[in-house]
Chains A and B, each alone.
Chain A
Amino acid sequence: MISELDELYKQVILDHNKNPRNFGVLENPTSHAKGHNPLCGDQLDLYLVIEDGIIKDVKFNGSGCAISKASASIMTSIIKGKTIEEAKQLFEHFHNLVTSDPEAEIDVSDLGKLEVFCGVREFPSRIKCASLPWHTLAQALNENGYSDLISTEV
């Protein structure tokens, strides 16, 4: 039986933590937001280049735990090239996933790579770590009038 800990620290998450994708600074972003989790000190800078409603480029920088770093790495990987609408949908899917009851069956068909975060539900104190990059994304999109995502933390 796979332990809850193994479910949380899946190989994919460990890999993204060790070799985060899209890690760094974008010199001329069209959107930028800062995410901060005062509880654990996680800090995140998210840079986006949005053209014609499409996320052309995205990078993140900062320091955080394996869960928040992997979440930012995976998020930036999957939103790159997506439209704002698609990114909003992914936000909703992710939000629904991590706030769902750990016992509840989930429809993984919409989740794609995000499925690796299923295990986070068993660790209430770590849900904020996983969702920090997404809330930072929502903030970046909202501030530029691209969306009206609710960025209230879970």
Chain B
Amino acid sequence: MENLFIDISEKKVFEVEKIRKDFPILSRLIHGKNLVYFDNAATTQKPRQVIDSIQNYYVNLNSNIHRGVHYLSEAATKEYECTRKIIQNFINAKHLEEIIYTRGTTESINLVASSYGFANFKKDDEILISAMEHHSNIVPWQIICQHTGAKLKVIPMNDDGEIILEEFDNMLNEKTKFVSVVHVSNSLGTINPIKYIIDKAHNFNIPVMVDAAQSIQHLKIDVQQLDCDFLAFSGHKIYGPTGIGILYGKKKYLIEMPPYQGGGDMIMSVSFEKTIYNELPYKFEAGTPNIAGVIGLGVAIRYINNIGIEAINNFENELLSYATNLLSDMKGLKIIGTAKDKTSVISFIIDNAHPHDVGTILDRDGVAVRTGHHCTEPVMRRFNIPATTRASFSFYNTFYEIDVLAKSLKKVINLFN
């Protein structure tokens, strides 16, 4: 990994300029200024390799998979299934059929809530989630609770935005039937001690689902080492296309779970009397899927592997600490989410300046940030604020870009104070 760094002055610098050339959008101008893209937690930009692979699919391979005996169908099926192997290796799943293609993290969670939940939850069972969940790891469980009479329980967090583990320990009991927790908070950046949570839950034989939407692009994930029972992530947050995501599930659960959607491809045989479902993973993949998206995701993961997720994580941590130092020194600016373990996400508020005004002013300097509640309204309520401004960094961002952000924020502070 050493050779990925070159010494410039005293600071070790990732070969970021070289990497930036792979991302066409990074060279465009916004309002006449260089784009500074700090909305990576919402979606990441795509390298040319991913964009080309999608185009190549439609130009050279387009056909339906798992159906034709003709050349194109076979070639497309091969590419499509190749990504499954790439994902299996990327998260170190034991079996290939434990990798299920979905539309994204949201659909992955809905699949588990709906399929596992309907089959297993009863009245007064308890489902645990944390106080920092994205709406997509709250609402599917609420829906299933409404139908089954199970109860949703929320593990609280402290003022730094960290799960209070003692509370979690105390909440586990014989009524607890499922735990679904976010690995990294999208609005706070907190890295949750997911291994601890999984091990504790397993002491009670409770399955655990990990929402990895905000961790997969930053941290090395090994599902066998974590021993999580389900894990979900989205392609577009890891430099792949939108509309494609992954559900990892342990085979022993997936085999028992009923289908989530019915249709083509998920069946072995159909008659009006009885349908025999297809084997894993196809049982959960009804209908013609997002073939180009799957192929693009495979290329994105290969791209990440070439740089190395550890090298990415190291550089992003440098960006985070540089930005944290710079922003902490600004008068009237307060960082929300000060956990000890964080990914490269900084949420903040500024005295007398609403995040939407901050976002508009930054935008005119070419700086793209997210403003609002980040689909985590309960987190905003916990901190008693309506919204935050969030800057989230990727390995293609630079220290200089953080300076641009800081300069633009000074403009905001001057305007409203």
Residues of A with Cβ closer than 8 Å to B? 3-5, 8-9, 14, 17-18, 39-43, 63-67, 69, 123, 125-126, 129
7 smallest beta-carbon distances between A and B, as pairs? A65-B354, A65-B356, A41-B386, A66-B357, A41-B387, A5-B364, A40-B356
B386 touches A66 (CB 8 A): no
Measured between beta carbons, the chain A residues less than 8 angstroms from B371 are 40
B416 touches A14 (CB 8 A): yes
Assess whether B289 is interfacial by the CB under 8 Å rule: no
Give min CB distance, B301 to chain A, whole Å.
Answer: 33
Give bound CA distance, A5 to B416, whole Å: 13
Beta-carbon nearest neighbor of B387 in chain A: A41
Interface size class of B (residues with CB under 8 A): 10 to 19
A3 touches B373 (CB 8 A): no
Beta-carbon nearest neighbor of B356 in chain A: A65
Give bound CA distance, A148 to B239, whole Å: 49
Task: List B328-376 residues whose CB lies under 8 Å from chain A.
Answer: 352-357, 360-361, 364, 371-373
Give min CB distance, A130 to chain B, whole Å.
Answer: 11
Most buried by B among A5, A14, A39, A64: A5
B386 touches A8 (CB 8 A): no
Residues of B with Cβ closer than 8 Å to A? 352-357, 360-361, 364, 371-373, 377, 380, 386-387, 415-416
Known: A40-B355, A41-B380, A63-B354. 14 other contacts (CB 8 A): A3-B364, A5-B364, A9-B357, A9-B415, A14-B416, A39-B372, A40-B356, A64-B354, A64-B386, A65-B357, A66-B357, A66-B416, A67-B356, A69-B354
Give bound CA distance, A39 to B355, whole Å: 12
Beta-carbon nearest neighbor of A9 in chain B: B415
B361 touches A5 (CB 8 A): yes
Question: Given A66-B354, A66-B416, A126-B356, does the pair A41, B361 have CB atoms closer than 8 Å?
Answer: no
Q: In the complex, which of the residues A3, A18, A42, A126 contacts B360, with contact meaning CB atoms closer than 8 Å?
A: A126
Give min CB distance, A28 to chain B, whole Å.
Answer: 28
Give bound CA distance, A125 to B416, whole Å: 20
A67 touches B357 (CB 8 A): yes
Give min CB distance, B300 to chain A, whole Å.
Answer: 29
Beta-carbon nearest neighbor of B364 in chain A: A5
Q: In the complex, which of the residues B357, B360, B386 contacts A63, with contact meaning CB atoms closer than 8 Å?
A: B386
Measured between beta carbons, the chain A residues less than 8 angstroms from B386 are 41-43, 63-64
Give bound CA distance, A4 to B357, whole Å: 14
Give min CB distance, B79 to chain A, whole Å.
Answer: 38
Measured between beta carbons, the chain A residues less than 8 angstroms from B387 are 40-41
Give bound CA distance, A39 to B372, whole Å: 7
A-B contact pairs, 16 of them (CB 8 A): A3-B364, A5-B361, A5-B364, A18-B352, A40-B356, A41-B380, A42-B356, A42-B386, A64-B354, A65-B355, A65-B356, A66-B354, A67-B357, A123-B360, A125-B360, A126-B360
Give min CB distance, B50 to chain A, whole Å.
Answer: 28
Give bound CA distance, A42 to B364, whole Å: 22
Give min CB distance, A98 to chain B, whole Å.
Answer: 15
